[in-house]
A and B are shown apart, each in its own frame.
Chain A
Amino acid sequence: MQSINLLMLRQELNDKNILLCFNGPISSGLIQELGDALKNHLQTESTEPSLAMDVFGVFIELTQNIRHYAGRLGYSDAVSSATVVVAQHSNGYQVMAGNIVEPEDGQKLVQRINDLADMDKAALKAAFKKQLREPRAEDSASGAGLGLIDISRKSSVPLSCSLTDAGQGKAFLSILATI
């Protein structure tokens, strides 16, 4: 019989103050359920309402971005799976999300995130307003590039990210937001 021991995984999650962790194919229903769980947790921790809403908002934008991207590229369930982690961090929270991307798209996103990291609050606001005025592509279901700016505005420190080779001509993009 195969032996299992989840205690190590559990201890690691506890040590890192991880309150929500998901890895696998992500549907809109699942985003909803995980989001509800996150909201409930934030409520029981009596997190300040505006902080709770920012954490929830960052979670929604990151996961919906992954869904939109996978949908646009017609990825299969296996490739469109996401890794999402929400952890408590000093006085706030960290939301991390990772997914498989085409290497060239990954590089563009890393560049975009680095550009946003150089902007102060006023520049981010201006960028958001400018993007808000961009005409929406007919086939675009998403907020048309507003997500990462919005996440940057809700974050207390600039976003960090990394792009690693995932084999088979794909890359894995990880994004970390601290709220």
Chain B
Amino acid sequence: MPVRAKPFSAFLQLSEEKKIMNLQTLFLEQTKNTPKVHADPATGLFTIDGDSYPENSYDFFAPVFEWVEQFLTETGKKLVMHLQIAYMNTSSVKAMMDLFDMMEDAFGSGKKVEVVWFYDPRNERVIEMVEEFMEDCTFPFEIEAR
């Protein structure tokens, strides 16, 4: 007797809780040229702290993209990103812009997202960089001295 294929909808009926369980905490230790990364699926708080100038930024940012994409598609929770990055090389800037684009798309489809970028008030270059990112984002985005 042929085995009836499980209807596709069965896969979509996983409980919200079950789906969140699949998403692990993301933690990357700070190195000389990459920042510390910590993302908690339980709270939706994503922090990136430190300078970012690896030679291949996409290798470094790949797990970040993956985590954020999964969090935004699989949970209904708000994503809060706390960033404290003073210096980024241009390939990190491009990766960050792609990340913000991903958040912008999610925001456009009704998801809750927010970014707070902390900076050292003695270094105004950071403000200029962050303001350029802000120009391309409509979701809540703040810059705060710390």
Q: How far is the CA of A146 from the CA of B91 in the complex (A)?
A: 8
| Contact of A64 with B89 in the complex, beta carbons under 8 Å | yes
A126 shortest CB reach to chain B, Å: 11
B positions within 8 Å CB-CB of A: 32-33, 53, 55-59, 86-87, 89-91, 93-94, 97-98, 120, 122-125, 132, 136
| A contacts with B: majority SS | helix
5 closest Cβ contacts across the A-B interface? A143-B90, A146-B90, A143-B91, A50-B125, A141-B56
A74 contacts B by Cβ under 8 Å = no
Contacts of A60 in B (CB 8 A): 53, 89
With contacts A49-B123, A50-B123 known, what are 12 further pairs, Cβ within 8 A?
A32-B33, A54-B125, A68-B55, A132-B94, A132-B97, A136-B94, A141-B58, A141-B59, A142-B91, A144-B91, A144-B94, A146-B93
Interface 0/1 of A56-88, CB less than 8 Å to B:
110011001001100000000000000000000
Inter-chain contacts of B59 with A (CB < 8 A)? 141
Q: Is the Cβ of A143 less than 8 Å from the Cβ of B89?
A: yes
B55 touches A129 (CB 8 A): no
CB < 8 Å A-B pair total:
61
A67-B55, A129-B132 as given contacts; A150 in contact with B122, CB under 8 Å: no
A57:B122 contact, CB within 8 angstroms: no
A50 partner residues in chain B, CB cutoff 8 A: 123-125
| Chain A min CB distance to B141 (Å) | 17
Q: Does A147 contact B (CB under 8 A)?
A: yes
Partner of A143, one of B94, B123, B132: B94
